[in-house]
Structure 1
Amino acid sequence: MITHTTQSVSKANIFLTCTDEKYYRDELIVEKNTVIRMISGEMKIILPDITYVIGAGDTIFFPRNDLAKVWKTGKDGRPYKSVAIYLTPEAMQQYAIKHHIKPIHPSPRTGIKCMAAHPLLDSLFNSLVPYFNLKNELPESLAEAKVDEAISILKLIDQEVFNTISNVEEPGKINLAEFMEKNFMFNMPMDKFGYLTGRSLTTFKRDFKKAFYTSPQKWLTQKRLALAHYQITEKKRRPVDVYLEVGFENLSHFSYAFKKQYGYAPSSI
């Protein structure tokens, strides 16, 4: 990764991010419902079962408590630049009170979603970009009005997304084994895995041992190595292109663990 400058400017729950790094990666635990409009550059979103490539003019919705690996790059000589609106549970509760909306019972929520183009989305984001040229902080009342406008637009153009952001409940207890089999390649603290499965750290570790008969760290390492081995041997991919995707933080640690597991270095394949 070649690093130059990254700038993230906040206006309450509205953010503009601009980076001229050649290559930037991040591993997201999305804690707030977020709508992102790409201004320039490209964002690759890698999920366990699908990969999205988002370009300039595209709009994508991230539901809270979802996991994603994100790669951000410049494109066509322009830096990565995006505007994000956070739709917090508090904002949704205030919106419901203001507009006399009855609570929505929990329903199947949408995952990460590429949103269809719509003039109302264009109008919303076009109105936001100039605010980041202000020297002073955007007045709170104006920022709240823009968040309120974003919610109203989502209610009008995408009921599925609106239902998702209207659910303000914390994660409930879910099937731990199914969740871990789907999300083992995400590198995060154990307490986050516990939270996302509706458990305290202590309960997570206890339930994990019941499900897999080993410790979380040992199981995660073996699963990540097995996926890496498959990608390198069967898909003919290079170790340098694989280790981040499967959940390792650096190439040297991955190579060491791989050789310890299989008896030979990944680079020798």
Structure 2
Amino acid sequence: MSTKTEKPKILYSCYYSRSREGEHFIPEHVFSYQISGEMIASDNKNTFYSKPGDFRFSRRNNLAKFTKIPPEGGEFKTISLFLDQEILREVSKEYNLKSDKKVDSDAMFSLAPNPLYKSFMESLLSYLEVEEKNNETLFHLKIKEAIHLLLKVNPELKDILFDFNEPGKIDLEAFMNKNFHFNVQMQRFAYLTGRSLATFKRDFQKVFSETPGKWLLNKRLQEAYYLIKEGKSPSEVYIGVGFEDLSHFSFSFKKKFGIVPSSLKHS
């Protein structure tokens, strides 16, 4: 098993205040259980709601925004298992499991409640709440157990889980105009459009006649201008259009338009 430092394969999330994720990219399939609080997720087509007791599946190589909302006076809690390609290939080889067809589905979808899912997730809590070290081998086995459990309860997931194809080359202009508001690194955009970073930058220059960085900044600021003019506040807008920091957004906005965002709707 790999010894490099990477994102935990099993994550127990706890929040006391409303929070939003940073980067909007789902790099691996994720099997999640909502313990308390609510989650709102959106891609460029749908908005997905998750409430206590819900199970969900998130597909790899998708863009999505997440807002985590704790219950009043309580804590937002989820368990998320990251079904990475290394483990899935291991299971595929061990049990001769292969994808038979390409499946087109949403970036996220609900899994019907099942007592097997619930007992599995509850069995993880004792390990996750204690935060003991050196659980890597155990968690590796639990991820494999989760894969088999998913296949038992939802056998149709086989064609998603064992599809190891990478994104193919797609229309760059259509993709960027649809996804510019997602806060992801440039190499993510390149990967999702089926290009190396160098090819992505070269093709981008041909299509838009400017660099990806300049185009993204201008596109996001133009969208923010429109939304604030329509009555939204800068604090509502800046994350939604792809900025991480309100002060950086305000600085960039003033540099482009000559006024601070908060004064726009009064102008």
TM-score, L = length of structure 1: 0.84
Q: Distance in 1 between matches of 2:105 and 2:161?
A: 9
Instruction: Trace 1:178-257 onto structure 2 (pairs within 5 A).
Output: 178-234=174-230, 236-257=231-252
8 Å Cα contact 1:109-1:163 kept in structure 2: no
Deviation at 1:110, TM superposition (A): 4.2
CA displacement 1:100-143 (0-9 Å, x = unmatched): 32453444354221222222221221221122245453372x43
Partner of 2:149: 153
Matched, 1:31 2:27: yes
User: How big is the shift at 1:74?
Assistant: 2.0
User: 1:81 offset after TM fit, Å?
Assistant: 1.5
Deviations 1:28-87, CA, capped at 9 Å, x for gaps: 322211111111223222322333232221222121121222222321322122111111
1:219 and 1:229 map into 2 onto residues whose CA distance is: 15
Deviates more, 1:72-81 or 1:240-249: 72-81
Q: Which amino acid aligns with 1:25?
A: R
Q: Supply the distance in 2 between the matched residues of 1:162 and 1:121 (Cα, whole angstroms).
A: 17
The 1:220–1:159 alpha-carbon spacing in structure 2 relative to 1, beyond 3 Å, is: farther
CA distance in 1, matches of 2:12, 2:141: 17
How many residue pairs get matched? 257
CA distance in 1, matches of 2:103, 2:87: 20
Pick 1 or 2: higher relative contact order, CA cutoff 8 A, min separation 6.
Answer: 2
In structure 2, which of residues 92, 116, 124 is the aligned counterpart of residue 96 of structure 1?
Answer: 92
Structure-to-structure mapping, 1:6-45, within 5 angstroms: 13-20=9-16, 22-26=17-21, 27-45=23-41
The residue type equivalent to 1:172 in the other structure is: G
Identity of aligned residues (%): 39
Question: Post-superposition shift, 1:244?
Answer: 0.9
Mean CA deviation greater in 66-75 or 33-42: 66-75
Find the partner of 1:169 among 160, 165, 168: 165
Q: Do the aligned residues in 1 keep the contact of 2:38 with 2:70 (CA within 8 Å)? A: yes
Contact 1:12 1:143 in 2 (8 A): no
Structure 1 contact 60–115 (Cα < 8 Å) conserved:
yes
Write out the 4+ residue segments of structure 1 that deviate beyond 4 Å after TM superposition: none
Note if contact 1:12-1:138 (Cα within 8 Å) is conserved in structure 2: no
Q: Give the distance between the partners of 1:262 and 1:12, measured in 2 at CA.
A: 42
Residue of structure 1 in register with 2:61 after alignment: 65
Q: Secondary structure at the match of 2:175?
A: helix
Normalised by the length of structure 2, the TM-score is: 0.85
Consecutive unaligned residues in structure 2, runs of 5 or more: 1-5
Separation (CA, whole Å) in 2 of partners of 1:218 and 1:126:
47
Q: Which of 67, 77, 80 pairs up with 1:81? A: 77
Whole-angstrom CA distance in 1 between matches of 2:85 and 2:164? 5
Q: Provide the alpha-carbon RMSD of the alignment.
A: 2.5
C-alpha displacement of 1:11:
11
Q: 1:205 to 1:152 in 2, by over 3 A?
A: same
1:231 positional shift: 1.8
Deviation at 1:163, TM superposition (A): 1.8
Structure 1 unaligned regions, length at least 5: 1-9
Aligned to 1:126: 122
